[in-house]
């Protein structure tokens, strides 16, 4: 908190600053650091990665993939992106053969063969349970409630500003029996 006071000159972060940080921090991280957030929806990687967790990924070349790493792959069967662990990788001239498996799945996934210079996403960080909050904010009721809340805050702030400006104007006006100095 002391750091924020020194940098911004504010006693406490304003509502606007907090909103800026919440909404723009992921975009800045994605742009500058190549990190992308994804909400986990399946239990195939339990117990390490659970439904509702947020995973942060970064782009790497297929030739940089190593055994034991968790990567994101598009599964044509379910038409979704899946995070699975690399259980075997063989880098040949110009291509890489990768076998993956969900930690809680009994069977390994179908072998994929990708050009070595192609990029894919590697999981670099798991943030537990944050995905539940993010998913809740995407529901229609949450959007209406959030919009109503923001509108209410805006109206309350406008009323406060009007009252403050009226009280300042009343302080400046002389009383009827008071002489005005020039």
Q: Supply the CATH number for residue 92's domain.
A: 2.10.109.10
Mean pLDDT of the chain: 81
43 and 81, same domain (yes or no): yes
Give burial (CB, 10 Å; 0-12/13-18/19+) of 26: middle
Q: What is the DSSP letter of 105?
A: -
CB 89 within 8 A of CB 64: no
Has residue 95 been placed in a domain? yes
* CA–CA gap between residue 81 and residue 167 (Å, rounded): 59
Has residue 52 been placed in a domain? yes
* CA–CA gap between residue 88 and residue 90 (Å, rounded): 7
Query: How many domains does the chain fold into?
Result: 3
CA proximity to 34, closest of 22, 45, 26: 26
What share of the chain in percent tops pLDDT 90?
Answer: 32
| Across 143-163, average pLDDT | 84
At 10, the pLDDT band (50, 70, 90 cuts) reads low
| pLDDT computed for residue 121 by the predictor | 93
Exposure string over 78-103, b if 16+ CB within 10 A, otherwise e:
eeeebbbbbeebeeeeebbebbbbbb
pLDDT at 3 > cutoff 80: no
Q: Which residue has the higher pLDDT, 135 or 114?
A: 114
23 and 79, same domain (yes or no): no
Has residue 181 been placed in a domain? no
Cis peptide before 47 (omega within 30 of 0): yes
Domain that holds residue 156: 139-169
28 and 99, same domain (yes or no): no
Q: Does the pTM of the predicted model rise above 0.85?
A: no
| Across 54-58, average pLDDT | 92
| pLDDT computed for residue 51 by the predictor | 92
Has residue 182 been placed in a domain? no
Give burial (CB, 10 Å; 0-12/13-18/19+) of 54: buried
């Amino acid at each position: 908190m002391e750091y924020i006071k020194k940098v911004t000159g504010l006693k406490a972060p304003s509502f606007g600053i907090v909103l800026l940080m919440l909404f723009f921090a992921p975009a800045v991280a994605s742009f500058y650091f190549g990190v992308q957030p994804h909400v986990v929806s399946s239990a195939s990687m339990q117990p390490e990665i659970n439904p509702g967790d947020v995973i942060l990924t970064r782009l790497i070349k297929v030739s940089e993939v190593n055994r034991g790493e968790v990567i994101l792959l598009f599964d044509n069967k379910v038409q979704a992106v899946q995070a699975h662990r690399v259980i075997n990788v063989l880098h040949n001239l110009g291509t890489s053969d990768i076998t993956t498996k969900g930690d809680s799945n009994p069977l390994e996934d179908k072998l994929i063969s990708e050009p070595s210079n192609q990029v894919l996403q590697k999981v670099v960080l798991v943030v537990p349970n944050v995905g539940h909050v993010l998913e809740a904010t995407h529901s229609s009721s949450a959007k209406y409630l959030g919009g109503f809340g923001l509108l209410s805050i805006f109206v309350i702030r406008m009323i406060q500003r009007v009252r403050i400006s009226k009280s300042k104007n009343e302080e400046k006006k002389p009383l009827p029996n008071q002489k005005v100095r020039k």
